[in-house]
Structure 1
């Protein structure tokens, strides 16, 4: 039956974030609405997914989505991200999954304050240097340690696979001009950037406000992606070349797709971003955001919205 024109869901009916399917990927199907469920139809039949259970709907190749389906997801506080096959490319996104700007405000505040920005950068590097203390290191020292670490990782995978390695060199305008391993690295990293970009915009953070990288619309995407390259994309690139691939770009994309298919990377990326930006102290959990609107006050605190402040704090001139 048609569900067009049904009223939006009440706040009390919305599911808590932790009770939702965090990311749902669909491809080669028609996405529509049936009552309060999203339907996905392909040549195998129709699947119904309760809209309240979805956090982010990832639309892959061959999908078509109706206006009614988009409206239903919006009513339930979900978002849509248009991606490549298995989510390895980011193309565009709808509204943020976030119901507040808390994450974005925290990101902007931290990136605008030298000491706080450095603290986030140090935490990012510490995630890549298990067991090493980065608290007293400058950005120059951190970059030096990272450079040495990356060179060591390249050498290790070169030895493991037998693939010759000289240095990282690539030209974005001339993909085919690089040697096979640099082509594979570029293809793998591009897939990772797409996945991370989708997570960042779904959470309501800014892809352009980076802590280590800066001045680019995807600076924060590059920051977060660097956390996973040594574990995911670098080994994949060396493996693809070692296997004698004749279509490095396509084979690398498929290998990354298969590696992240279980969704574990998406969940890990969400946790890492929230931890880095909200920075809970003493191991405390990160509180869920509230769907409330408040007013900013120059005294350093917020005040309640939805009331008339006439006569409160008036000054006679």
Structure 2
């Protein structure tokens, strides 16, 4: 098995780690305290203690010792499609603490804080506008107008005719070329965002704008990047009239995600939305391997100690 896993103080904080490393068509193994990726070109070593999430793409085979090392180092593995454009499954969360998940649950179950997060998501799409006095209904209307404008601009730039968004989720081929490209592009983005959410330990189902679906939070976060990534990519692909719109669009989204560093941006945006007050001290706390006990009056009390009084029964 090689060297012992690092102790907790030796681990690199997740905000300073390599974040997400994507591998495909290789064998993932362990050499001492490093993850190795081997293919016909040779072997590369990835320090496990500085790794956030390992995205395992097509053609990867991972060994038991490699998974044990990831777990010991507080890292995680996510099984994805090519370049992360599909989400299939994941291992343990990247976070050793539940603070980010608890922040998500607390904010989504309180109407005032849920509204604040939802508004912040809309504000990210209108950085140069004052939306503080707009209701949610007005924000939805403003967002609809923004998306309609983007469709029109992309259509004029590429020469691809645009009518309206029409698709049958049960029949991909039923739509015209541009709608097929849009469906494929959005599906890729959902997979990427889903991978980031589970790697950070959040719940994909606890959405703020969307609700009632197991991927509500995925749709919330994905909407932040559609205007920048998937809509322009879909129109550019449709312009070429590809024989296989789905495959061509997936490859184009893959490249756009890498070029735009969407994985890293997504992780930063999620943390800023759920824990905007997070500072160095708070980050150190929620990344520590600490278990506490809940108390309705005190909030949290230390675990690992006996609270029995001398006169308690059985003492």
TM-score bin, normalised by smaller chain:
over 0.9
What is the Cα deviation at residue 13 of structure 1? 2.1
| Distance apart, 1:62 and its partner CA | 0.3
Kept in 1: contact 2:8–2:289 (CA 8 A) = no
Aligned residue in 2 for 1:294: 292
Point out where structure 2 has 5 or more consecutive residues left out of the alignment.
Answer: none
Task: Tell me, in whole angstroms, the C-alpha distance in 2 between the residues paired with 1:20 and 1:212.
Answer: 30
- Map 1:94-105 onto structure 2 (within 5 A): 94-105=91-102
Could you tell me the TM-score, scaled by structure 2's length?
0.94
Cα deviation, 1:194-236, whole Å, max 9, x if unaligned, reads 1100000000000000000001010000000000000000000
Query: How many angstroms apart in 1 are the aligned matches of 2:243 and 2:128?
Result: 40
The alpha carbon displacement at 1:189 in A equals 0.5
For residues 214-293 of structure 1, the aligned pairs below 5 Å read 214-262=211-259, 264-280=261-277, 287-288=283-284, 289=286, 290-293=288-291
Distance 1:240 1:269 in 2: 24
Secondary structure at 2:277 match in 1: coil
Q: What whole-Å deviation, never above 9, does each CA across 1:241-272 have from its counterpart, x for those lacking one?
A: 11221211011000011112247111110110
Which has the higher mean CA deviation after the structures are superposed, 225-234 or 152-161?
152-161
Secondary structure of the equivalent of 1:40? strand
TM-score by length of 1: 0.93
How many residue pairs get aligned? The number is 309
Question: For 1:70-92, what per-residue CA distance to the aligned partner results, in whole angstroms no more than 9, with x for missing partners?
Answer: 00110000000000011111110
Determine the C-alpha separation between the residues in 2 that align with 1:182 and 1:9. Answer: 50
Rounded to whole Å, the distance in 1 between the matches of 2:206 and 2:15 is 26
- Runs (4 or more) in structure 1 with deviation over 3 Å come to none
Match of 1:55 in 2: 52
Root mean square deviation of aligned Cα = 1.7
1:1-317 equivalence runs, <5 A: 3=1, 7-262=4-259, 264-280=261-277, 287-288=283-284, 289=286, 290-299=288-297, 301-311=299-309
3-state SS of paired residue (1:206): coil
Query: Deviations 1:29-72 (Å, cap 9, x if unpaired)?
Result: 00111111111110111112221121100000000000010001
Q: Which moved more, 1:39-48 or 1:303-312?
A: 303-312
Could you tell me how far apart the structure 1 residues matched to 2:137 and 2:95 are? 35
Q: Could you tell me how far apart the structure 2 residues matched to 1:15 and 1:191 are? A: 30
- Could you report, residue by residue, the CA deviation over 1:114-165 in whole angstroms, capped at 9, with x for unpaired residues? 1110110000001011211222322211111111111111111111111111
Higher helix share: 2
Cα 1:143–1:263 change in 2 (3 A) is: closer
For 2:260 and 2:41, the matched residues in 1 are separated by: 23
C-alpha distance in 2, partners of 1:261/1:157? 21
CA distance in structure 1 between the aligned counterparts of 2:130 and 2:110, rounded to whole angstroms: 22
Find the aligned partners of 1:114 and 1:309 in 2 and give their Cα distance: 36
Equivalent position SS for 2:227: coil
How far is 1:7 from its partner?
4.1
Is the partner of 2:19 in helix, strand or coil?
strand
